[in-house]
Amino acid sequence: MSPVSPILHARSPIPLALTVTSAPIGGPIPDTRVRNRRAAVPEPASAAPPWTLQPAPATSAEADHQLHTALSTSALRQLADSSVQIPHGATIRPGFEALRSAFNTAEMRAWVASKGMALDTVVVKPDSVSGWVVDSGVATQKTFTLNDTSGWWQVSTRLRAAAAALDVAGNGLAYVHPESEGLSRNAVLQGYGIPPPHTADELQTVRQALSTADWSALSPEVKGRLEQRNLRARKVIDVMDERVHLASTLSERVRHLSDEDEVLLADVQTPISRTSSLAIDGADQAAVSEVLASHGLSVPKTAREVRNILRWLDAALPPAPALGDYAQLIARQWAPGVLSDADKRFVAELSDDDTPGNKPAVNLLRVLDIRGVLALNSAGTLRAEADRFLEQVLNSPVALNWGRAVARNRQFQGASGSDQLSTLEAKQWVLAAIMLQIDPDAPGRPGTIAGYDIYQPANNGRTLASVRTDIETHLWKKTSLDPKVAPLLAHLFLAAAAPEFLIRDVPSTLRMGSAEWADLRLGVTFAERQGGAGSSRAMSYPEIMALARLDARTADEAAVLDNHGVDVLLDWGLMQGVYAKTADGRYTPQHYQQASEAFQAQREQLLQALMAFKTPLPTRRDQAVANLQKVFPELSGPQLQALQVYVADPDERRNMKVSEPKIRSLIETYMTGDLVRDRWMLLEADTPGATGAARTPFSNARPSRTEQAAIVKNVRALNARIKRLPSLPGQVVSEVDGYLASLKQGLGITTKRMIANLPLADRQALEYGAVELFTLREQIDGVPTLDQTSAQVEARRGRKGTLIRCDYNGEISYFEVFPAKMMIVKRTDLPEQLVLGGTLEETQRTYGRWAPSTVLLQNGAVEPFDFTAYTSDASPRSDVSSAGIIIDKLGDTLPAAPAAADGRVSAAVPNSFASPRSQAIVDRILQGNFIHHRDSVLKYAQGQLPLEQQREVSQRNDSILLSMIPFVGAIVDLAKGNIIEGTRGLLIDTAGAFLGGAGTAVRSLVKSTKVVAPFGAKAFRVLEKGVSVVSAFLNPVDGAADLLVNSAKGVLALPRALNSAPNVSAFANMLAAQEKLRTFFGVHAAIDRAVATHNGHHQGVPIRAVQMGAHWYAANPESGLPVGTPLEGYRPLSEA
């Protein structure tokens, strides 16, 4: 238990000299943190973000002596921790002030208040925060962790950095009031290198140690260690604040700019912190270019590049949880401390009793119901809060003792270099046992859980929730335990196999195989590899997507980020049916190339569709203006709009009807077909004959000879321009036909994409079954079939939707397809056979003077369709029927594929996007039931509809289409035509990235991230010379895919698959870029370079080993102590 009690410590008596008047919680606090002189130009000082820290105070030996005296007297009178006044000038003072300031930021106080905790009861620990809440007179303690949904990790970054410098043992630090001078006694003792007391004997030992010490002359070691901790904490906080100021400065520069606009930053200054390397001679500002460089950022040249930098400055990663992805002991690639294959086999066969026939997993998994975790909670609650419940189970003495016992049996050495395991290590053994007893091959290949293939083609188009249900069912069947165990087990396995399933706030509509799914996986991979295993679990969907939108800052960084997407691209190809799964489940370079080519084909077609959708319907006015602009190149648009023509012949003017205007707009005259030669002259201010209207109809004033000559010249000049103008009516028809053809093509592409995103069973039904298409229309009331015209029938047809019926292996399925709504709805409530053509009713009808005749009326019926969705932009509603509906068949039946000997049709995974069957379905829909009827579109294009109806016809929001472009989720501003926010797509060129410095491929890195205007998608291709080395990244169990993940563990050996790579040094560049990325996000996982020297090999990995008794152990890369289980088959170099 922590020696710091959140109630006792916060409310313990303090010396009178330290007593202060507390400010009310949530109320105003004297703000001593704002330094107005550091305001960023051009913003006023009052608008500048505040600095967290004040300048660090100078230290003195006398202040340390005063602190020593305080500790030696009153502070050690009792065993319990107490508050000690920190004198100004003490060596620990800068760290104390950093802690106090971080505790009292406006953001931190607001967060504590939002949780209902009393500020003066708050205690911060390395991975949690606790405080007391009083409700109706009852006080209860609340605890929030870095991995829950409270937002603690986001708000506490500065506070955790400050606390880490003072709370070395992780016991916790209580809240410090902004006017307080007191700090935990035990924290002070730790800081000065004295272990705090936990017993009466230890208390006496501390008293004796202090009585003989002289803090006025601290040893260089103690003083240097304390100063380094303080400086490190202050630098971390200052960097965060500095980035806020930098972001404020940059965002102001691009606030009103489009992405392609140039940005000049040469003379721009931004505030810097006092701990910055740029703060020379007390400078508090520096050039933006220098500040960017100090943060590892390049100087942007365009607004787009500035916005990418702003995304980097805003991005954040949570600390990796202590238990990581729950598979730390059984990682795919062996490393010091990881269990060997023999260890895994032993643990997989363990049982907590010796009863014959009992299933081992059943016995061990009984621990999951400790403390009523299963009995007291629903499956939904267990699923939503799995981390918390697993922590409860693992903290039980039963589980911890079991883990320690198994570890001792395997002669496991912990991080301490002995068999005395920490609580964390005992938990790791329990988790390893649970997972191995369910799946002896755990964690297995990414995307697989105990034999269940998560990224199988059958899951394409399904929601994450439905797939997780299948996983839970699969695990429950393997354990035969309480079904409530399944959510906890699925959580354990998904953390390593498919962590994207554990992200919070994922939209319920997100489908596997979709663009959003790919972006989600990319962001999760970023978090897991850069922040550490398990980091993504603390993040929300928006936070993960923000990582996916980051563009690489350097070529080497592009190689690292591109590597994140290899698995996603290959899984996408398999789910799309580009290739079949191999017997061993392994990918090849050919698979990579096939996936990339299919991906590129989809991307190019969908970009074409976007172009078609962005093109407005050509109107007669638009075409007239475009044509006139060609013959009046010297005029601007507004000048052309204002240009008028005037009837040149005075006799014609005199005889014209009053309703006919003599002065008309040039554009409108051309639109009406009246702009003919020898009739008009351009009207200008000094045009002869254009002024002075006739006073009476009999006036016969004639222009003078000079005026007549000027009129003739004007008319001839205009004639010359009219001669060059094409016939507008014919041109409009041609343009409309071209527009409709382009729109059909675009809708066809997106409809194929929707078909490709359907679940596998539906794709197979459409691909291999007998397919019929139908249209819906309203009946024509009171008009006999004999008198109905095609125009009447077409006017009542629902052209925005088409019904599809599939007969596949005896099963009937229906789909409503709405191309313009980007929607396909599967219907499971329709009968196997539809009534076509309505019903015929005989009636009497009299024509002229003839006797009544018997005629037929075609009547519709009440059908279970929302016909409004077929005729408007409204989405289809469920459980809605429409009256008077007639169903007509659209074309002939598309026959089923040939049946096999057993009478069943093929069940292969179809490549639906590229298949001829999908194209045939799309062609039938768009040729026979196109969204726009040509006549109505032509009528609109001619400008004959009312003004309020003259809008673009059925233009869909570009964000919907862009979300369909593989791995792109940009939002496009249609008005400006520029990208406001683009995602970093999975348009990867891993081969080129890996070969970044290899001969002729040196420029491929630049090309692999080249922007394809104007959509923000990156060029994507596989270099012919690079395919030979792509296999190094394809199969994670080979070791290459996890190379960058495991680099921090001190394993520098390249996997065997890369021994023949043409340029192995490229990995060094990627590792360096990886370390820079982690440093940018404050993740300290640097490689221990000492491990580069080794004294033997184990499982093909060069390691440094140490001998303990008769056994060899791998050396811990951080401490050099033995770690893990004994190395079987280890061979020292001297014996090799």
* Residue 886: count of CB within 10 angstroms of its CB: 23
At 938, the pLDDT band (50, 70, 90 cuts) reads low
Q: Which of the two residues, 851 and 572, has the higher pLDDT score?
A: 572
Q: Give 239-256 pLDDT, tens digit per residue.
A: 999 999 999 999 999 988
Outline where 385-507 has alpha helix (H): 386-394, 397-409, 423-438, 464-479, 485-497
Q: What is the pLDDT of residue 500?
A: 97
Q: Cα separations (Å) of 716 from 662, 666, 677, 713, 720? A: 19, 16, 8, 5, 6
Q: What is the pLDDT of residue 1052?
A: 30
| Residues in contact with 1082: Cβ distance below 8 Å, sequence separation at least 6, in sequence order | 157, 236, 317
pLDDT at residue 1 above 60? no
Residue 888, both tokens: 């007509």
Q: Which of the two residues, 696 and 130, has the higher pLDDT score?
A: 130
Is residue 498 within 8 Å of residue 490, measured between CB atoms?
no
* Mean pLDDT along residues 378-402: 89
Q: Cα separations (Å) of 1108 from 405, 412, 1101? A: 20, 12, 20
* Mean pLDDT along residues 552-576: 84
Is residue 461 within 8 Å of residue 511, measured between CB atoms?
yes
Check residue 196 and report its DSSP letter: P
At 1061, the pLDDT band (50, 70, 90 cuts) reads very low
Q: What is the pLDDT of residue 852?
A: 81
Place of tokens 């152990």: 1113
pLDDT at residue 535 above 90? yes
Q: Give 787-827 pLDDT, tens digit per residue.
A: 888 888 888 999 999 999 999 999 999 999 998 888 999 99
- Rounded to an integer, what distance in angstroms lies between the CA atom of residue 163 and that of residue 28? 24
Is residue 564 within 8 Å of residue 1007, measured between CB atoms?
no
pLDDT at residue 1121 above 60? yes
Q: What is the pLDDT of residue 65?
A: 92
Is residue 459 within 8 Å of residue 577, measured between CB atoms?
no
Q: What is the pLDDT of residue 492?
A: 95
- Rounded to an integer, what distance in angstroms lies between the CA atom of residue 610 and that of residue 966? 13
Q: Give 1097-1108 pLDDT, tens digit per residue.
A: 776 677 888 888
Minimal CA–CA distance to 161: which of 238, 88, 263, 84?
238
Q: What is the pLDDT of residue 1051?
A: 31
Q: What is the pLDDT of residue 1016?
A: 27
* Mean pLDDT along residues 1038-1058: 37
Q: Give 416-435 pLDDT, tens digit per residue.
A: 889 899 999 999 999 999 99
pLDDT at residue 983 above 50? no
Q: Which range among 135-149, 195-209, 924-938 shows the weakest confidence by mean pLDDT?
A: 924-938
Handedness of CA 548, 552, 557, 563 (dihedral sign): positive
Is residue 2 within 8 Å of residue 10, measured between CB atoms?
no
Is residue 672 within 8 Å of residue 645, measured between CB atoms?
no
Q: Give 113-129 pLDDT, tens digit per residue.
A: 999 999 999 999 999 99
Helix and strand counts by DSSP (H, E) for the chain: 41, 31
In a 10 Å sphere around its CB, with 0-12 CB exposed, 13-18 middle and 19+ buried, how is residue 745 labelled? middle
Q: What is the pLDDT of residue 701?
A: 64
- Rounded to an integer, what distance in angstroms lies between the CA atom of residue 468 and that of residue 476? 12
Q: What is the pLDDT of residue 205?
A: 92
Q: Give 392-416 pLDDT, tens digit per residue.
A: 889 888 889 889 999 999 999 999 8
Residue 304, both tokens: 């787009």
- Rounded to an integer, what distance in angstroms lies between the CA atom of residue 78 and that of residue 241? 40
417, containing H or E segment: none
pLDDT at residue 27 above 70? no
pLDDT at residue 2 above 90? no
- How does DSSP assign 681-736, residue by residue? EEE-TT-TTSSS--SSTT------HHHHHHHHHHHHHHHHHHHTPPPHHHHHHHHH
Beta strand pairing call for 173-174 and 663-665: unpaired
Is residue 272 within 8 Å of residue 133, measured between CB atoms?
no
| Residues in contact with 983: Cβ distance below 8 Å, sequence separation at least 6, in sequence order | 519, 545, 548, 549, 967, 968, 969, 970, 1016
- Rounded to an integer, what distance in angstroms lies between the CA atom of residue 1104 and that of residue 1090? 9
Q: Which range among 410-414, 596-600, 1032-1036 shows the weakest confidence by mean pLDDT?
A: 1032-1036
Q: Give 54-103 pLDDT, tens digit per residue.
A: 999 999 999 999 999 999 888 888 899 899 999 999 999 999 999 999 99
At 360, the pLDDT band (50, 70, 90 cuts) reads very low
* Mean pLDDT along residues 528-539: 93
Average pLDDT over the chain, rounded to whole? 79
| Residues in contact with 63: Cβ distance below 8 Å, sequence separation at least 6, in sequence order | 87, 88, 89, 90, 91, 93
Minimal CA–CA distance to 322: which of 446, 427, 414?
427
At 688, the pLDDT band (50, 70, 90 cuts) reads low
Minimal CA–CA distance to 908: which of 806, 761, 809, 804?
761
Is residue 1013 within 8 Å of residue 611, measured between CB atoms?
no
Minimal CA–CA distance to 986: which of 518, 366, 482?
518
Q: What is the pLDDT of residue 985?
A: 26
Outline where 549-660 has alpha helix (H): 555-564, 566-576, 589-614, 620-631, 637-642, 650-655
Q: What is the pLDDT of residue 583?
A: 81
Q: What is the pLDDT of residue 998?
A: 27
pLDDT at residue 769 above 50? yes
Q: What is the pLDDT of residue 941?
A: 65
At 1033, the pLDDT band (50, 70, 90 cuts) reads very low
Type of residue at 617: L
Q: What is the pLDDT of residue 1034?
A: 47
Q: Which range among 158-172, 541-555, 945-959, 1073-1087 shows the weakest confidence by mean pLDDT?
A: 945-959
Q: Cα separations (Å) of 296 from 238, 254, 1076, 1080? A: 16, 21, 8, 7
Q: Give 647-665 pLDDT, tens digit per residue.
A: 888 888 888 877 778 888 8
Q: Which of the two residues, 1081 and 981, has the higher pLDDT score?
A: 1081
Check residue 385 and report its DSSP letter: T
Is residue 1033 within 8 Å of residue 563, measured between CB atoms?
yes
Is residue 982 within 8 Å of residue 970, measured between CB atoms?
yes
Strand partners, 440: none
Q: What is the pLDDT of residue 914?
A: 92
3-class secondary structure for 927-960? HHCCCCCHHHHHHHHCCCCCHHHCCCCCCCCHHH
Q: Which range among 509-518, 553-562, 602-611, 1081-1090 shows the weakest confidence by mean pLDDT?
A: 1081-1090
pLDDT at residue 963 above 70? no
* Mean pLDDT along residues 634-643: 90
